[in-house]
């Protein structure tokens, strides 16, 4: 059996987009590293973490907006499709875009881990590598299982060269072009 990869995908990007268009609203689909992925529907704490981050971003950088579930073209040869929990860009950046946007102009992507069997491969590896390969300057992973905020930066050749891990409660600096320091104390309230 041939392993699935970006070079030998399960299906074409066009086929994925057709399936995704007809998926029920309760299902979130992505096409990562040549493989169809089902993204879990977020729980309440997941949503609260995103609202916390949205408020932090608005407070420190009112010129930026954190767009939830924005469809981005990522991955090898730009044939992947991901819906990060958040995509940080200039306010108004996605005006006039279709369902899937180029990653150009996205300053940071955000993922909050889900409590499911697939989060390790999906959020900690495949999406991280897809965002790095797309040249997105910062990838923020809020890892609920480990109680950490992981800041990936300096993408080069499909990987992030710099990774900084901050436990909940410690300040987490998001480097330029984001330029925000997060107060992560509140995340302790959502670590259940």
pLDDT digits (tens, 9 = 90+) for 128-185: 888 999 999 999 999 988 999 999 999 999 899 999 999 999 999 999 999 999 999 9
User: CA of 141: how far to CAs of 110, 153, 166, in Å?
Assistant: 6, 11, 11
The whole-number pLDDT of residue 24 equals: 63
The whole-number pLDDT of residue 135 equals: 95
| Percentage of the residues of the chain whose pLDDT score is greater than 90 | 55
In a domain, 139, yes or no: yes
d(CA 23, CA 142): 27
pLDDT tens per residue, range 4-59: 555 666 667 677 677 777 766 655 665 666 666 665 555 668 889 999 999 999 99
The whole-number pLDDT of residue 124 equals: 74
Residue 82 C-beta-side C-alpha neighbours within 13 Å: 30
Q: How confident is the model at residue 187 (pLDDT cuts 50, 70, 90)?
A: very high
In a domain, 3, yes or no: no
In a domain, 34, yes or no: no
In a domain, 136, yes or no: yes
Q: Is the dihedral of CA 177, 112, 31, 2 positive or negative?
A: positive
The kind and range of the H/E element at 121 are helix 119-121
In a domain, 23, yes or no: no
In a domain, 10, yes or no: no
In a domain, 140, yes or no: yes
In a domain, 6, yes or no: no
The kind and range of the H/E element at 138 are strand 138-143
Q: Residue 177 sits in a domain of what CATH number?
A: 3.90.1570.10
CA-closest candidate to residue 46, choices 26, 68, 24: 68
d(CA 164, CA 172): 9
d(CA 74, CA 170): 31
Cβ atoms of residues 8 and 34 within 8 Å: yes
The whole-number pLDDT of residue 122 equals: 66
Q: What is the pTM of this model?
A: 0.78
Number of domains in the chain: 1
Where b means 16+ CB within 10 Å and e means fewer, 82-104 reads: bbbbbbbbeeebbeeeeebbebe
pLDDT tens per residue, range 86-128: 999 999 999 999 889 999 999 999 999 876 656 556 667 788 8
Q: How confident is the model at residue 77 (pLDDT cuts 50, 70, 90)?
A: very low
Cβ atoms of residues 94 and 80 within 8 Å: no
Which residues form the domain of 128? 43-190
């Amino acid at each position: 059996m041939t392993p699935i990869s970006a070079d030998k995908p399960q299906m074409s990007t066009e086929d994925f987009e057709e399936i995704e268009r007809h998926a029920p609203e309760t299902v979130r689909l992505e096409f990562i590293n040549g493989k169809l992925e089902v993204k879990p529907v977020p729980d309440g704490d997941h949503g609260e973490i995103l609202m916390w981050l949205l408020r932090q971003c608005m407070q420190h950088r009112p010129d930026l907006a954190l767009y939830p579930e924005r469809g981005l073209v990522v991955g090898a040869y730009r044939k992947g499709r991901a819906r990060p929990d958040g995509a940080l860009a200039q306010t108004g950046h996605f005006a006039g875009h279709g369902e899937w946007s180029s990653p150009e102009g996205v300053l940071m992507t955000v993922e909050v881990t889900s409590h499911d069997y697939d989060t390790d491969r999906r959020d900690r590896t495949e999406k991280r590598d897809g965002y790095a390969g797309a040249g997105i300057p910062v990838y923020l992973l809020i890892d609920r299982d480990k109680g950490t905020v992981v800041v990936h930066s300096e993408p080069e050749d499909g990987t992030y060269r710099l990774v900084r891990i901050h436990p909940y409660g410690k300040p987490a600096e998001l480097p330029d072009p984001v330029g925000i320091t997060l107060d992560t104390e509140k995340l302790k309230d959502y670590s259940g």
